[in-house]
Amino acid sequence: MADGVGITLLRHGMTEANVKKRYLGWTDSQLTAGGMQELERLQSSYPNYDRLYCSDLNRCIQTANILFPKFEPILKREFREMNFGEWEGRTYEQLLIDPHYKRWLERPFEIEPLQGECYQDFSQRVHQGWIGIVEDMKLKEAKYAAILTHGGVIRDLLVKYAPEKRQFWDWKISYGCGYELCWKSYEKLRRGERCTSLRAVPIMEKENG
């Protein structure tokens, strides 16, 4: 990477709540057996990072321990998923009787979940976490870091920093996978510029030819 700097954004493994399509924000859910097996398969797909930052929710910590068993993650509350309040643990079908939920579906970036977190507060929280790790990387002279976090956090950061502008929901992130963002210099990263290059990770060889 020469004088450049890179940050990889990784999503946690699949959980029981994900399988059941339940809203999963600040509450937690165990990784599925299949999710853990997939993470074990991906274990050797990532390099050794200088720094590993991680949401403090257990599903991310579990994922970090599987993908990077010899690395102690630096826990960051700022990289939690959005708080869905009263909707935590419930499904789309269960919530359709709620008029407020229907309004939120129409305007999710303007209306907040009941007793939950509005998008603006969520995005600001993530941004503060981002600023913190950028400064920490400078302090520790780290060139290559990873953030193990949640789908919503990754989408929010890609909207801000990906070289190609896309809408929030246009970004697809598989469990245990993510994106590597690279800047030509630390100062470009620190100034909040969009990254120079972006690639999906890990790069897996196609199976069966």
Going by the annotation, the residues of the binding site for substrate are: 11-18, 59
Residues tagged in the binding site annotation: 11-18, 59
- Measured distance between the N- and C-terminal CA atoms of the chain, rounded to whole angstroms: 30
φ, ψ dihedrals at 155, nearest 5°: -60, -45
Distance between CA atoms of residues 177 and 167, nearest Å:
19
Describe the strand order of the beta sheet including 144-149 as a list of residue ranges. Answer: 74-76, 51-55, 144-149, 5-11, 178-183, 197-201
Write b or e for each residue in 170-189: b if 16 or more Cβ atoms lie within 10 A of its Cβ, otherwise e.
ebebebbbbbbbbbbebeeb
Question: How many Å is the maximal CA-CA distance in the chain?
Answer: 55
